[in-house]
Structure 1
């Protein structure tokens, strides 16, 4: 490798991954031999690493310009790829660019060109037009989840990006479905196609069940279903933002701790909702199909389809949030009495019969603190752990998942300790600075 001889084994060790899977090995080998590679593999099968390893092998540490561009359909996927790249510890700089992120921050990050840029089509176009990205040295392009990226609405932007990249030598495309024709402007030349999708592969380890709602308004049935399923992590998919908020508020009033998540929320709100779901402060996330892709949240046990998905592809991607890798999961469809199953769903699926009375599940034992300081304030996870241990008198087991963003951070702490901790730290400073710390909204 050209990255200071960092071996694949060393990278895997840093990622706590014992070995590459068959698809990842095939990708590394294919990308060594061929200029253009298409990777088709189920959601959760490790496609991110399948393209990052070949990129890292090809990067030249002596080249101080941007060498690789990764285009993704969502900001969450961009953040996930950035996190994995940093965990790999290769020493190559990576920068994310996406809507909802401060453009000034991104512009500052681009002054010294990163080796890798990952971003959404609209924001990448914006930076190209403003002259913020040095294009001449970009030889590697990745279209991650290209089926989504190439959907109507992104086509024009992706076409503009492709027209701006004059020195491309390699294209890597990934997808969990085979549903989209790749337009000619992508410029593929005799691509090697690695197809690891098999019939029903998206539902491996997944069981599908249904429950009948006696009322057209399914909220009461959803409430009873969540109680019946118990204190397990679940994503509830609705087809509209208004339904997401209405359903979330109904569950909250009924005593179910939950968060909602959709595209009209401010970035900090979205980060907060996802962080609470990831760290166990809430077990239920009510969302639109925005959360059906790009969210790397482990151990999701249930996918609940409050509304039937419009297409089979959406159904596959929603269900792909559970039963990832070797884990099992269950998708539950809530059907009103007059709703018919779409043709692509097996009519013989098992039906859940809810008991007449249910008991509220136990509330989560974690709570999330918002800290108004992050990477750009030179605050990291070690600083936060030290602060909460020394000033907040917390033991190691009382501190959960910590996520540090550019200008703010989230940390899970045991709910029983929250009041005491906030009292102890209210006049204390982090790295000699007064920083607002409160329960995350």
Structure 2
């Protein structure tokens, strides 16, 4: 069960029995796509396939198993979505028995994939259903009972529906794992393998992600049959259209630097490690006059959906988020991503950075570090294939404004009378970064152990939420 060597470069050695993959398609018209799909593509202004689409569509349309890697924002959804819909067209699902399944790790990605594929599904008269946690399960049961040819699901919620006898996967002949590397981690893997074991054994399987590594191998070897490997851009290629900056900041000044960046003209996405830190920074920014919203796994799905919609429309200019926003979030013209907490894993850096410079655009990624974090951050970026520009900055300096567009916030609280007080000292250490309100304990907070315990508890709770969709 060795993968075929594609004409596109990839990181795996070519097996001795490799066959030659067809050349990439020059246009959608060169492919065996239905006329309804071609008309919809033209109507939506999609005229030429992106590299990952051009590489994978010929094989996927033939029903081959696919292992695909393409940079974030490269068009992977249509790369697997168009062949899935085309090969399902003309069939009708029986109640509770979908014909095609797309598994994704987050609710936001499920909604984004559903929105992206719905126009083409409608053109082919296919019914789609999104199955995710945090939303009324009764509506999803009804949608499956009425019949849906294509289901887009998070593993936890789909598992719940199967347990309730509201869904059966035995007739699923096309299965996609999007963000396959994340679906391979321990929080998802047991449910993912359980679901994959239930789909039709002779069906087509496609695994897609911006990063493919050894973590995915167990899924590849267990479920893909003679797959074609298409890798458009090596791992470093996911970040080469962006500017990368490391800003070295003084600890007590970190809060003020973050606030001034958030107050810039234009939208910005701020990443932090914990939900507590996200909520605390969001409250501070709004008290400082910055239109910020929080996104993390403890928010209800209506809250998450509303916050994302407000950020995409420009009603919110700042999205403060945990890594729940590192995948599946597409915002047009988002030109700045800031790692307030530096990532400790190169894959996390790649996916956070991938929220900007999407669809061939450009963007800027900024990582704030203390002096003691520089060595670890350098290692992470080197493994991600990034050579950042390193600059020492302080709040209020021209260098900070030049790189990020930072400016002084208005200071007028957005929630008058809400009990959110404006911070008295904007240069106080950021309370989400291992510090405490007790000044007697110094800048290190209650203790490093307390901070580590809180992060461990956050990680455990996040893993439970991932399992529950």
With structure 1 as the length reference, what TM-score do the two structures score? 0.77
Q: After the TM superposition, which residues 239-254 of structure 1 pair with which residues of structure 2 at under 5 Å, given as runs?
A: 239-254=273-288
Normalized per residue, the structure richer in strand is 1
Deviation at 1:5, TM superposition (A): 4.5
Q: After the TM superposition, which residues 28-427 of structure 1 pair with which residues of structure 2 at under 5 Å, given as runs?
A: 28-65=57-94, 66-88=98-120, 89-90=122-123, 91-179=125-213, 180-183=215-218, 186-198=222-234, 200-216=236-252, 218-227=254-263, 230-340=264-374, 341-345=377-381, 349-351=389-391, 353-354=393-394, 356=396, 359-360=407-408
Could you tell which deviates more after superposition, 4-13 or 315-324? 4-13
Partner of residue 13 from structure 1, selected from 42, 51, 60: 42
SS of the equivalent of 1:181 reads helix
Does the 8 Å CA contact 2:114/2:152 hold for their aligned counterparts?
A: yes
Does the 8 Å CA contact 1:15/1:87 hold for their aligned counterparts?
A: no
Does the 8 Å CA contact 2:74/2:360 hold for their aligned counterparts?
A: no
Q: Quote the Cα distance in structure 2 between the aligned partners of 1:50 and 1:312.
A: 25
Deviation at 1:269, TM superposition (A): 1.0
Q: Quote the Cα distance in structure 1 between the aligned partners of 2:167 and 2:245.
A: 48
Could you tell which deviates more after superposition, 105-114 or 159-168? 159-168
Instruction: Tell me the number of residue pairs that the alignment of Structure 1 and Structure 2 aligns.
Output: 360
1:396 matched residue in structure 2: none
Structure with the larger RCO, 1 or 2 (CA within 8 Å, 6+ apart): 2
Deviation at 1:93, TM superposition (A): 0.4
Q: Quote the Cα distance in structure 1 between the aligned partners of 2:235 and 2:169.
A: 40
1:236-291 alpha-carbon deviations (Å, 9 max, x no partner):
00011111111111111222111111000111111111111000001110000110
Deviation at 1:7, TM superposition (A): 4.0
The change in CA–CA distance for 1:167 and 1:356 in structure 2 (over 3 A counts) is closer
SS of the equivalent of 1:194 reads strand
The change in CA–CA distance for 1:170 and 1:353 in structure 2 (over 3 A counts) is same
Q: Quote the Cα distance in structure 1 between the aligned partners of 2:99 and 2:200.
A: 12
SS of the equivalent of 2:337 reads strand
Does the 8 Å CA contact 2:110/2:153 hold for their aligned counterparts?
A: yes
Does the 8 Å CA contact 2:270/2:338 hold for their aligned counterparts?
A: yes
SS of the equivalent of 1:272 reads helix
2:56 matched residue in structure 1: 27
Deviation at 1:217, TM superposition (A): 6.5
Deviation at 1:173, TM superposition (A): 0.6
Q: Quote the Cα distance in structure 2 between the aligned partners of 1:302 and 1:339.
A: 22
Deviation at 1:62, TM superposition (A): 3.9
Deviation at 1:352, TM superposition (A): 6.2
Does the 8 Å CA contact 2:210/2:235 hold for their aligned counterparts?
A: no
Does the 8 Å CA contact 1:107/1:132 hold for their aligned counterparts?
A: yes
1:52-104 alpha-carbon deviations (Å, 9 max, x no partner):
11011111424333210111001111111111121223221000111101110
Q: Identify unmatched segments of 5+ residues in structure 1.
A: 364-441
Q: Quote the Cα distance in structure 1 between the aligned partners of 2:74 and 2:388.
A: 28
Does the 8 Å CA contact 2:335/2:363 hold for their aligned counterparts?
A: yes
Deviation at 1:21, TM superposition (A): 1.9
Normalized per residue, the structure richer in helix is 2
The change in CA–CA distance for 1:235 and 1:98 in structure 2 (over 3 A counts) is same
Does the 8 Å CA contact 2:257/2:395 hold for their aligned counterparts?
A: no
Q: Quote the Cα distance in structure 2 between the aligned partners of 1:338 and 1:216.
A: 14
Does the 8 Å CA contact 1:35/1:169 hold for their aligned counterparts?
A: no
Could you tell which deviates more after superposition, 315-324 or 130-139? 130-139
Does the 8 Å CA contact 1:92/1:114 hold for their aligned counterparts?
A: yes
Coordinate RMSD, CA, aligned: 2.3
2:463 matched residue in structure 1: none
The change in CA–CA distance for 1:233 and 1:108 in structure 2 (over 3 A counts) is same
With structure 2 as the length reference, what TM-score do the two structures score? 0.72
